[in-house]
Structure 1
Amino acid sequence: MQTEVFEAFRAIDIPEDKALKAAAAVSKRDDDVTSLKADTAILKWMMGFVLAFQAAIFAKLFLH
């Protein structure tokens, strides 16, 4: 990914050192986004479990 961004910046005549820094920054941002997606997936599973547990308690309270 980083080389593709670097090559894209170089294709529009951005100096090599600035293109390299920009490509590294974009790569770091992508890593951060990946980490956030993983955290969000865990939170979704946790909320699903909690809601299912609460629904089971609700059903047990009012149906028995």
Structure 2
Amino acid sequence: MTTMQSEVYEAFRSIDVPEDKAVKAAAALSKRDDDVGTLKSDMNLMKWMLGFVLAFQIGIFVKLFIH
């Protein structure tokens, strides 16, 4: 188990949650953290893509009226 996963497991065990349920809950929370990390990286990519598109559109707009 990873560090965070073992901490969650130990927290569940300290409140007398059965061992099998504590292991499953810790694994589920670990999976959720992986999913959140993936979403954060996807959002970062989307921000860069949107910034590029906006800069390109502003460049076209400026070229239309300046030239």
1:22 matched to which residue of 2? 25
TM-score normalised by structure 1 residue count: 0.97
> Structure 1: where are the runs of 5+ without partners?
none
For residues 20-59 of structure 1, the aligned pairs below 5 Å read 20-59=23-62
How many aligned positions are there? 64
TM-score normalised by structure 2 residue count: 0.93
The superposition leaves residues 23-48 of structure 1 with CA deviations (integer Å, 9 ceiling, x where unpaired) of: 00000000000000000000000000
Q: CA RMSD in A?
A: 0.5
In structure 1, C-alpha distance between the alignment counterparts of 2:30 and 2:43, rounded to whole Å: 20
1:63 Cα deviation after fit: 1.1
In structure 1, C-alpha distance between the alignment counterparts of 2:7 and 2:61, rounded to whole Å: 53
In structure 2, C-alpha distance between the alignment counterparts of 1:31 and 1:57, rounded to whole Å: 40
1:60 matched to which residue of 2? 63
Percent identical among aligned pairs is: 72
> Structure 2: where are the runs of 5+ without partners?
none
